[in-house]
Every structure is written in C-alpha cells, then in structure tokens.
Amino acid sequence: MTSSQTAGRVPPFGTGSFGQGPFQGSSGNGAEFKAGGFKDGRFPQDDPFSLRARGPKALEGSSPEQVMARLDLLAHLLDTAILLPGNRRIGLDAIVGLIPVIGDAITTAISSYIVWEAKRLGAPRWLLARMAANVAIDGVVGVVPIVGDLFDAAFKANRRNVALLRRHLERSDALKPSVIDVTATRID
C-alpha cells in the first residue's frame, strides 16, 4: 500500500497492523479499536460529525404515515398557519414571499422538499410533474410584486401537493385512508 492509499485510514496514535499490537481492545480513552477501526469500523477522521451514520438511517425508518404527518405539518406552516380577520388563512409562504426575490426562492426551495419526499415514497412521474408544476407556478408568479404576494396567499400549492400525494398513497394502499367514504341513508 502506498501512503496515498492509507491516508485517512491510519489511527491518530501511530501506525501499525490493523487489529494487532497494543492498541487492540480498549485504549483507555473510551474509544474501542476493532479490526478495521474504531467502534463501527471507521476512524474518527473519516467522518468527524458522524453524518454517515445518522443521515440515511433516519430516512429509512420513516413509514408513509410518519412522512405524511411531517408533510402535513410543513404544508400547514407554509400555507395556512396564520388566521387573519375575516376568517382567511395565510402561511409563512405568503409572509416570507414579501421579501423581494429571495423570499420566493426560499419558499420554493422548501416547497420542493414535499416533491422530493413524494419521489422518495415512490410517486409516479406524472404525479411528480404535477406537483413540480404547482411549486413552479407558485414560485414564478410569487416573484411579481404585490400580485404575486396575493397569489401566494390564495394558491396554497403545498396543501395541493400534500393532498395529491395522500390521494395517490391511499389508492395504492401504501397509506390507510384518512376519510372513510360512506353513504348515509335515512330510515324512517
């Protein structure tokens, strides 16, 4: 092995054969040295903030119900969180959109997260395209001063996208229906 191949793989306390020598077992500072590195087989300098260990595992354990709960909350915050006089609701999308150009860029990026989650849940391309179109319309029209801000308050693209995704997941039996369809019959 050359030094370029071993860069980043040498323990910080010296060189030697992996899994042999005085450093096998407990090193006294709480870090256990195993036959390939520390604890999970990697050295601390390979991933100093343990991002590899946390990132994918957090997403893998999410069920469709948990994802939809997160998306419902996000859509509520962005589109309907604030009650105005006259029983009108607006969200952070309309308020942050008041900041010229960058406000709409921020809310469009946050709205794109809903589309990304839909892709991760296995939504078909036509549904992703429709959701992306809702986000694009909201972002493009939102850039127009005054008219765009009024449009942001009325269009509610995030609520539409969450409803589209929920309907798709319920039809594909990946999610239990949130509303039970029944027909009421009056018996006299």
Range of the domain at 40: 8-55
**Which 8-state DSSP code applies to residue 31?**
P
Closest CA to 152 of 110, 118, 113: 110
* pLDDT given for residue 175 in this prediction: 80
Residue 150 and residue 99 share a domain = yes
Domain count, the chain: 2
For residue range 23-39, list pLDDT tens digits in order. Answer: 444 444 444 445 545 55
**164 or 43: which leads in pLDDT:** 164
For residue range 103-153, list pLDDT tens digits in order. Answer: 999 999 999 999 999 999 999 999 999 999 999 999 999 999 889 889 988
Distance CA 46, CA 9 (A): 8
* pLDDT given for residue 56 in this prediction: 46
User: Rounded to 5 degrees, what are φ and ψ at 135?
Assistant: -65, -40
- CA angle, residues 138, 144, 149, in degrees to nearest 5: 60
Residue 42 and residue 26 share a domain = yes
Residue 55 has pLDDT above 50, yes or no: no
pLDDT tier at 58 (50, 70, 90 boundaries)? very low
Distance CA 74, CA 111 (A): 9
For residue range 154-181, list pLDDT tens digits in order. Answer: 999 999 999 999 999 999 988 887 766 6
Residue 165 and residue 117 share a domain = yes
Residue 69 and residue 37 share a domain = no
* pLDDT given for residue 100 in this prediction: 87
Residue 118 and residue 74 share a domain = yes
Q: Does pTM surpass 0.75?
A: no
**181 located within any domain:** no
